[in-house]
Amino acid sequence: MTGERSFTPALGHAALTPLYDSAIALMTREQRWRERLLQQISPHARDVIVDVGCGTGTLALMIKRATPAATVIGLDPDPEVLSRARLRAQRAGLAIEFEQGFARDVARFANRGVTKVVSSLVFHQVPMDEKRAALGAMRTMLQTHGEAHIADYGLQRTALMRALFAQVQMLDGKENTTPNAQGVLTQLMTEAGFANVVETAVIATPTGSISLYRAVRPNDQGTRS
């Protein structure tokens, strides 16, 4: 359960949540990075995929639409976005499980044979200890050789991208967002025990650049074979 922990709502303030889907479409070149992320995830029928911080369910719905036989599970601490996600899935006729919980709670799916864990636009919103705990839980929960695919605001490489990213920082605050803008995610993924950590794409958007990352859970000896 979510206990007494708190979270930043999808658009920084709970009152803005109804505007979330339109804001993301308008302000992030959403179609471009989501399509690229979906390509990278490359879902297969036998995949069991958990979307951490699933929000209103856009990515989970895309995955399920692309590969109806895959098992797709969405996890988010905010009951408001979860009810929006459930409604969207129901209207689209897509069987997706949505559960309430924080990123670190993803460990609860350890016995589900999870082959891929995915997450979009979540890590820039969470404190450093939750970034670390989330990545550790994602690695532990995944099957050996399971994959992590993350899209989020990453290293802001130019003055223009840093200036545009300030809009996100106004909504979500500087404390949690600054480490992402300094490019901390690849280091944290490696520290969490992932192998083959790669930033696979950097996409400029009107709110700063969004990076895609890929990593693999190694076997218990720490190698890929």
Ligand X SMILES: C[S@@+](CC[C@H](N)C(=O)[O-])C[C@H]1O[C@@H](n2cnc3c(N)ncnc32)[C@H](O)[C@@H]1O
| Cα distance between residue 188 and residue 51, in whole Å | 19
CB of 176 to ligand X, least distance (A): 9
Does the footprint of ligand X cover residue 76 (CB under 6 A)? yes
CB of 129 to ligand X, least distance (A): 10
Nearest by Cα to 196 from 154, 151, 145, 156: 145
Query: Looking at 114-122, 159-167, 184-192, 214-222, which segment touches ligand X (CB under 6 A)?
Result: 114-122
Query: Looking at 35-43, 49-57, 138-146, 209-217, which segment touches ligand X (CB under 6 A)?
Result: 49-57
162 membership: H or E segment, kind and range: helix 159-172
Is residue 63 within 8 Å of 117, Cβ to Cβ? no
Contacts of 147 (CB under 8 A, 6+ apart): 41, 115, 116, 117, 214, 215, 216, 217
Where in 139-158 is the site for ligand X (CB under 6 A)? none
- Of 47 and 76, CB closest to ligand X: 76
CB of 90 to ligand X, least distance (A): 18
Does the footprint of ligand X cover residue 78 (CB under 6 A)? yes
Give 18: exposed, middle or buried? Use CB within 10 Å, 0-12, 13-18, 19+.
Answer: middle
List interacting residues with ligand X (CB under 6 A): 7-10, 24, 52-55, 58-59, 76-78, 81, 102-103, 120-122, 125-126, 130
